[in-house]
A and B are shown apart, each in its own frame.
Chain A
Amino acid sequence: DAGVIQSPRHEVTEMGQEVTLRCKLISGHNSLFWYRQTMMRGLELLIYFNNNVPIDDSGMPEDRFSAKMPNASFSTLKIQPSEPRDSAVYFCASGRGDPGTDTQYFGPGTRLTVL
């Protein structure tokens, strides 16, 4: 059974460019989480969906960030325009059930570098 799939694994872009990160959930999971990992703040939750509906987007840094879930198995995180401070590793995770207690299954992450 395939785990969470993220693409691309690495992205290098220039400041001002649009960046789109992609995530495919594990089949049968109904919750989707986007996290950002930095040295200073560790893993921060950006947004999470349940049954394709955004439940909590309080972690989204600003309007430059947007996330969508066009269907039950796929999600995108878009940054437009990108800035150097957005450089980080972005993880998506999927799960089923209670987002606070049930195991979340993480993808391998996308390492984003904005020059």
Chain B
Amino acid sequence: DQQVKQNSPSLSVQEGRISILNCDYTNSMFDYFLWYKKYPAEGPTFLISISSIKDKNEDGRFTVFLNKSAKHLSLHIVPSQPGDSAVYFCAASGNSGNTGKLIFGQGTTLQVKP
């Protein structure tokens, strides 16, 4: 049972445009959310996070939005660059008896075309 879902396996955007990656979760006890980026043949690296007490967190070209009522978060990349082409994983954690471990989604492959 996937508690964190990324329903779009892939996304293709033009350089300079906005990339929007989506993530849904089912467990209302999740209170911390993260995005990791993964290049081929490398491990995932941390990108940005957000606590449930906020609805937006921004870091340069990357912004994460959290809609708790919809149990939905999204990652916006503006403007998108070819170097952003990677697999993006969203992850969630919470103190629901699961020891606070991260639950990852399946990942979305972003391709930014020059």
The interface residues of chain A lying within 8 Å CB-to-CB of B103 are 45
Tell me the count of chain A residues lying within 8 A, CB to CB, of chain B.
Answer: 26
| B101 contacts A40, C-beta separation under 8 Å | no
Shortest CB-to-CB span from A59 to chain B, Å, is 8
In chain A, what residue has the closest Cβ to B51? Answer: A101
Q: Is A28 an interface residue (CB 8 A)?
A: no
| B46 contacts A41, C-beta separation under 8 Å | no
Shortest CB-to-CB span from B97 to chain A, Å, is 11
The interface residues of chain A lying within 8 Å CB-to-CB of B36 are 106
The interface residues of chain B lying within 8 Å CB-to-CB of A41 are 2, 106
CB contact under 8 A between A101 and B32, given known A41-B106, A44-B104: yes
In chain A, what residue has the closest Cβ to B89? Answer: A43
Candidates B6, B44, B100, B107; contact of A98 at CB < 8 Å: B100
| A100 contacts B105, C-beta separation under 8 Å | no
Candidates B6, B41, B95, B102; contact of A108 at CB < 8 Å: B41
The interface residues of chain A lying within 8 Å CB-to-CB of B42 are 108-109
Distance of A94 Cα from B32 Cα, bound (Å): 19
| A108 contacts B101, C-beta separation under 8 Å | no
| B104 contacts A43, C-beta separation under 8 Å | yes
Q: Is B49 an interface residue (CB 8 A)?
A: yes
| A100 contacts B44, C-beta separation under 8 Å | no
Distance of A55 Cα from B99 Cα, bound (Å): 8
Candidates B41, B45, B102; contact of A99 at CB < 8 Å: B102
Distance of A43 Cα from B42 Cα, bound (Å): 14
Q: Is A20 an interface residue (CB 8 A)?
A: no
Contacts A/B (CB < 8 Å), 11 sampled: A4-B43, A42-B89, A42-B107, A43-B89, A99-B99, A100-B93, A100-B101, A106-B36, A106-B43, A108-B43, A109-B42
